[in-house]
Structure 1
Amino acid sequence: MIHRWNPATVAPPIGQYSHLASVPADHELVMISGQVGVLPNGSLAGSDSETQTRQIFANIERLLDSLGAGPEHLMKLFTLVAGVEHLDGCRAARQETFARWYPGGDWPAHSLAVVVALADPALTVEIEGVAALPRR
C-alpha cells in the first residue's frame, strides 16, 4: 500500500496534497504523460478550466483503469495552469474530484505551477502523474 504522510517537523500542506509519498517494494512506477481536457474523440471538453480539469481527471481515471488501477495508486500529480485566471476553475474541479477519489483526505503528493501558455492556446490546464502499481 502507498504510504503518504506529513511530518510534524514542517508546516502542514497549504492545499490538497501530502508532503511525502513512498512506493512499496513490490510496486512499479508508471509515468502518466501530461493530460489535457479532451474527450475520447479528441475534441476539447470545453473552453473553461473547470470543464477541462474535470475531463483531465476523467482521462487519468481511464488510463489508470486500463492498468487495473485506480486513483489510490497515484503517488504524485503535477498541474500546469495557463494563467492565474484559470486557477479557480482548476481548483474547483480538483476539489470535486478529490472528494470522490480521496474521501479520507489521503491525497497524493502534488505540485501546481502557473505558466504563460500550454501547447495549444485553447488549453487551460495540463496534469501529469506518477502511479505505483503492484508488480504483475
Structure 2
Amino acid sequence: MIRRWNPPGVAPPVAQYSHLVSVPAGHDLIMIAGQFGLLPDGTLAGPDAQTQSLQIYANIETLLRSAGAGPEHLVRLFTMLAGAEHLEGSRLARHQTFARWYPNGGYPTNSIAVLAGLSTPELTVQIDGMAAVPARVATELADGDLMHEIMEAV
C-alpha cells in the first residue's frame, strides 16, 4: 500500500499535498509526461487555467486507467504555470478534482513552479506526474499493449 504522510518537525503542508510518499516493493513506477488542457481531438479545453487544469486532471485520470491504475496510485505531481495570474484557477481545479479523488485526504506530493511561459502562449498550465502500480498489473497491461501493437501491425 502506498503510504503518504506529514511527519512532525516540519510545517504542515500549505496546500493539498503530502510531504512524503513511500512506494512499497512490488510496484512499477509509471511516469506521466507533462499534460496540457487538451481535449481528445487535440483542441484546447478553454482559455483559462481552471478549465485547462480540469482537463489535465481528466487526461491524467484517463492515462492512469489505461495503466490499470487510478488517482490513488499517484505519488507525485509537478504543476507548471505560465504566470502567477494562473495560480488561483489552477488551485480551484485541483480542489475540485482532489475532493473527488481524495475525499479523505492522503494526497500525492506536489510542487508548483510559476514560469514566464509554457511552449505556446495559449497554454496556462502543464502537469506531469508519477504513479506506483502493482507490478503484476503494469506487466499484464504492457504485454496486452504490446500484443495490440503487434496485431495492428499484422
Q: Give the structure-1-normalised TM-score.
A: 0.99
SS at match of 1:100: helix
Which residue of structure 1 lines up, in the alignment, with residue 47 of structure 2? 47
Whether 2:29 is the aligned partner of 1:29: answer yes
Whether 2:90 is the aligned partner of 1:102: answer no
Letter in 1 for 2:13: P
Letter in 2 for 1:20: L
User: What is the rounded CA distance, in whole Å, between the counterparts of 1:120 and 1:25 in structure 2?
Assistant: 40
- How far residue 68 of structure 1 moved from its aligned partner, in angstroms, is 1.1
Q: Please identify runs of 4+ aligned residues in structure 1 that moved more than 3 A.
A: none
Aligned length: 136
- How far residue 112 of structure 1 moved from its aligned partner, in angstroms, is 0.3
Q: Which runs of 5+ in 1 are unaligned?
A: none
- How far residue 120 of structure 1 moved from its aligned partner, in angstroms, is 1.1
Q: Which has the higher helix share?
A: 2
Please report the RMSD computed on the Cα atoms of aligned residues, expressed in angstroms.
0.5
User: What is the rounded CA distance, in whole Å, between the counterparts of 2:125 and 2:49 in structure 1?
Assistant: 6
User: What is the rounded CA distance, in whole Å, between the counterparts of 1:89 and 1:13 in structure 2?
Assistant: 20
SS at match of 2:100: helix
User: What is the rounded CA distance, in whole Å, between the counterparts of 2:71 and 2:120 in structure 1?
Assistant: 27
**Bigger radius of gyration:** 2
User: What is the rounded CA distance, in whole Å, between the counterparts of 2:40 and 2:17 in structure 1?
Assistant: 28
Q: Which runs of 5+ in 2 are unaligned?
A: 137-154
Paired residues for 1:1-136 under 5 Å = 1-136=1-136
Identity rate, percent: 63
User: What is the rounded CA distance, in whole Å, between the counterparts of 2:55 and 2:94 in structure 1?
Assistant: 11
Q: Give the structure-2-normalised TM-score.
A: 0.87
Give CA-to-partner distance per residue, 1:53-83, whole Å, 9 cap, x none: 0000000000000011100000000000100
User: What is the rounded CA distance, in whole Å, between the counterparts of 2:115 and 2:105 in structure 1?
Assistant: 27
